[in-house]
Amino acid sequence: MQKNARKNIIYSIILLLVVFLVYLYRQNQQSPQLPTPEKDGKKTITGKTMGTSYRIVYLDEQGRDFKPAVDSLLEVFNQSLSTYIPDSELSRFNDGDTLAFESVYLPTVLKTSKDIFRRTDGAFDPTVGPLVNAWGFGPEGAQLKDSVNIFQLLRLIGFEHIQFDTEKVWKTQPDTYLDFSAIAKGYGVDVVAGYLQDEGIDDMLVEIGGELVARGTNENGELWKVGVNQPSEDVTANDIFSIIGLDNKGMATSGNYRNFYYKDSVRYSHTIDPKTGQPVNHRLLSATVVAEDCMTADAFATAMMVMGTEKAIALQKGQEDIDVFLIYSDSLGMQTYISEKLKPFVSYIKGEKE
């Protein structure tokens, strides 16, 4: 009798445990999943700089307005690297032969430019400006020039004509002209992002003229997501082709599909090959580069538009610090290439497919 009573007690305890565990399981299944906590203090500031606009979204529980400080910072930045300001650091170097550095910006952009000039075999070259202007893609917009003396200008082109050390920069070809328009916006984005980080901002999306840096997450605790425009010759069209999530990265896009003109039924794009002196003629429509910083992404995006699709893909595969999203055309229409590490961060809309 005692054995049976003991067994009954044990069975009862086990049964109660099973019932209790089933109850807990059902309660857990019925409980709604808690959403990712939203972050407070979203702020947005906008303004004008470098002949374009900027937009910065950041999260700050203190609700601080950084616009006055950002505007002042960008003014100092432009006073160093602008080719439109006659007395800027860069303009004075272009007018002369040697210049002692006056800011951190010029030596930094020179060092990065030299590195990417080498890594792209000269496809990225900040001395190409005179050719761009000669072909009619200067500040006044795309227009055909009466005559273009390419061979005379080619002797001025080549970043190897620019030499520098820790204190100064000088030219080995007196008439060589530097223009950092293909890297300056990206560098400016990095400078602003660095300033905000120094102020204790961990979550931000900084954009200048379409070049971006994302840090942290948005107000919903998600990666910052940015769009890549669908290539279109219509300057009023802003259709989004794809969305890229940025995980603490910089991103820049370069394209040939808007800044161009026709002569005798031949299409001339604003991207000039520094080696040939001619506008490029290939089927790469848009190159989006993702890198650790926006300055690097900006320069590589320009280089890839010089190279074309096949060479751009080969270049990316040889670099560990960049990823790419390329849009190009072939006999079947518009196509894309996405580097492997970037694929999980890319999504399409409007039925577009990879």
d(CA 66, CA 58): 10
105-119 helix and 67-81 helix, angle to the nearest 10 degrees: 70
Distance of CA 88 to the CA centre of its chain: 25
Nearest to 328 by CA among 288, 299, 296: 288
Residues in Cβ contact with 160 at an 8 Å cutoff, skipping those fewer than 6 apart: 172
Query: CA–CA distance from 136 to each of 128, 141, 158, 297 (Å)?
Result: 13, 7, 20, 26
DSSP 3-state of 72: helix
Q: Number of C-alpha atoms within 13 angstroms, CB side, residue 128?
A: 27
207 vs 137: CA distance, rounded Å: 24
Distance CA 185, CA 88 (A): 16
User: Is residue 182 a known part of a binding site?
Assistant: yes
User: Considering only CA atoms, which of 319, 239, 292 is closest in space to residue 303?
Assistant: 319
Check: CB of residue 64 under 8 Å from CB of residue 84. no
Distance CA 243, CA 252 (A): 13
Residue 300 has, within 13 A of its CA and on its CB side, a CA count of: 31
| Binding annotation for Mg(2+) | 182, 298, 302
| Binding annotation | 182, 298, 302
